[in-house]
Amino acid sequence: MQQNRETLGSLSNFASENSMFDWNALGAVAELVGAIAVVMSLVYLASQIRSGSRALETTMRDSSFHALTEWNYSILADPDLAWIFQEGSRSPESLDEKERARFSHIAYSFLKLFENLYLHQLDGSISSETWEYNRHVLVLFAVQPGFRAYVVRRRAIFNPRFLTMIDALEGTEMVNTAELWPRPAAS
């Protein structure tokens, strides 16, 4: 301890005796070094945040594509289900009671899938570009009479922001989905 006091004392003597040693200059240099360190830390932090945001967006996009693909495979795996989806969207009154029940479940999962995608786009976790690519599939069916009727009956189960977007589709020209995917002739 005595040695530390002697060292500090000799530094003070040196500083007071040596006019070239200026404590104010040393303090200024220390502040400059500190400021540079803070700026470098902020730049590093910004790059990490940017990198994390890109990773999140990529993960969300991949997750959305996976969910869309899985949903599509479930429809493809059952030709009757595919027909119910198509016919129910175009003309729900042509379905029998069991088919209408299945269509209700299909419509629910289809719309919830796109609601999730849309809300992620609004929140910024997926890009607008990714949403626009997939929006076209939603529009193709959401403007059909069966989906319109379903949304009217089940409004309470959807997010209001999603409903606003769906409602804005009113008046969008319908595509005849039967021409896109005609039902195969029975063999």
- The maximal CA–CA distance of the chain, rounded, in angstroms, is 109
- The reported pLDDT for the residue numbered 16 is 54
Q: Where are the domains of the chain?
A: 2-42, 57-180
CB 84 within 8 A of CB 99: yes
- Burial profile 147-163: b = 16 or more Cβ within 10 angstroms, e = fewer: bbebbeeeeeebeeebe
CA-angle at 64, arms to 58 and 69, nearest 5°: 125
Residue 42 structure tokens: 């902020």
Residue 82 structure tokens: 């595919």
Where are the alpha helices (H) located in 77-173, listed in sequence order? Answer: 79-90, 97-123, 128-142, 145-153, 160-167
The pLDDT tens digits of the residues spanning 1-32 come to: 555 555 555 555 555 555 556 778 778 888 88
Q: Mean pLDDT over all residues of the chain?
A: 80
* CA 35 remoteness from chain centre: 37
The pLDDT tens digits of the residues spanning 31-61 come to: 888 888 888 888 878 777 776 677 767 776 6
Instruction: Return the top range by mean pLDDT from 42-56, 70-84, 86-100, 166-180.
Output: 86-100
The pLDDT tens digits of the residues spanning 105-157 come to: 999 999 999 999 999 899 888 888 888 888 888 998 899 999 999 999 999 99
